[in-house]
Structure 1
Amino acid sequence: MMKKESEPLVINSITEFCKVLGHPKPKNPLLTVLEIKCNSDYPELASNKLIYDFYSVFIKRNIKRPIRYGRRFYDFSEGTMGFSAPKQVFTLDSPEDVAEVTGWYLVFHADLIRKYQLGKRINDYNFFSYSANEALHLSDDEEQTIEKIMRDIRKEYEQPIDLFSQDVIVSYLEVLLNYSNRFYNRQFITRKQAEEDLLATFTTYIRNYFEQPNIAQLPNVNDVAAQMNVSAHYLSDMLRSVTGQSAQQHIHDFLIEKAKQLLLTTNLSVNETAYRLGFEYPQYFNRLFKNKTGITPATFRGNN
């Protein structure tokens, strides 16, 4: 049995990762692909929380407990896909929860992609910073697509290394991440009710925020997402998929509407309006208002 939760265990390399979890030494020090099988015997670890200094991508099937998606719970016995970036805390499942789990596990170090275009674009794949309850739930066809790419990567990395090995592996990896982006976008659409619930909650929260008599500071996307129990990137990606605008753009739209209301229904000066909305410096308010409306707050008040 795994010991009680303690300080996270930091794993700095792919080789160390394989050693800690009881797998053979990787053939490539910057990448490994492992097939998850039922009744895996995990070694006893000092903590159930790990911090990887590399990226991880995994597929799990036959997960016992229901998974929360938005504010709902679903029974996902089919493929569930997750991602983590370096320095994130990764929580291991209990032995009871993984007794029947199968799937794939791919981990790769940033050095593998550093000289490639993918290395410059890796932060564009926001799902690496999604929370665990925002996993990607694959259809049968999608799961087969991802699994085939996993097998292709493993086949290539098991070949004797030559001048093109890394190029081919990175190409496969980029295809894998692009498919993941596509499937997440599909999920935003097909799980429409859950996303509409999230959108309604977000809208209500922001509207109520700007109705406060005294706003200490402008609403921050990270803080709003935390209040909604989702990650900031997931919230923005979901809103962009459903409405075409990010969370920050929605916040600015609400802010401008509230600013117009104050400018037309109160005797507050422009500077006082800026402070009332949470701006520390009025010039930032003027700049944002003009950027959004094409005119300054003073001109808007004068015209109306």
Structure 2
Amino acid sequence: MEATKKTEINNDYLDNLKTEQTQFRVAPSSEGNCCLASYNRRDFYKITLTTTGSSQLLYANRGIHIDKPALVFTNPMVPYSWEGDHAGAKGYFCVFTDKFLHSGSRMESLEESTLFKAGGDPVHFLNDNQTDYIYGLFKRMHQELDSEYLYKYELIRNHLNLIIHEAIKMHPTVAYFTPQNAASRITKLFLALLEKQFPVDSAQYSLVLKKASDYADKLAVHVNHLNAAVSEITGRSTTTHINERILAEAKSLLTHTNWSVAEIAVSLGFDYSSYFNNFFKKHTGLTPMALRKAL
């Protein structure tokens, strides 16, 4: 009976391995940006250890100079740009999903963690001892990823948690600066964040960001500030951009999928099909079913 139980446990782990292979990647920075072409970029968080060079991490209305060893935490739902000479960068990076880390029983969602959320502290500068210690953790994760050890992802998860807890303990004081032409930057990041939600590739998916205030929260700016910036740069309101993109996706789903109107409504963030019908008819003059029948 004990042998049977052991076999069941091992089979569970083998099944988990197949899943976890797509939920975690780690590599030295010299290998370039991690390729996530086969994954859903909305799902991936990234931790970068940079030990050399000078660069700037730029968000909507704030920037951070990085000119010494640092740990950098980036969230796929908070647009940013990282400017500088990365060709000779030394260090490591890893990408992973919230699900991968929560398999290790972390209590809070990564999206709510001060390390990843909008307005949090994404950069943690390191002293020599901290750099050596965290570099060693990344190196061990990289080695374990290529190993044949059956429980390697559990071990990797432990190393990843150590990196996160080291950062939480640091409580950094980061000097932020305001980038030039902040309105243009805010607008560019808003549009990038809007586009990142599409295409909708599953009837089980539902848009997370539906209103201007949702985008403002992600960009860590006041909604009035976001609206003013977008209107100044594009001549159109934030809500207009959101509605036009949702409408374009709705037409695409009605044309190219066999999903029901109810499924399309949910996937585009509408609580009820009637809300979606009213929205669609207001902007097109047709109901979703009328458009589909006319194709």
Of the two, which has the highest radius of gyration? 1
TM-score normalised per structure 1: 0.42
Higher RCO (CA 8 Å, separation ≥ 6 residues):
2
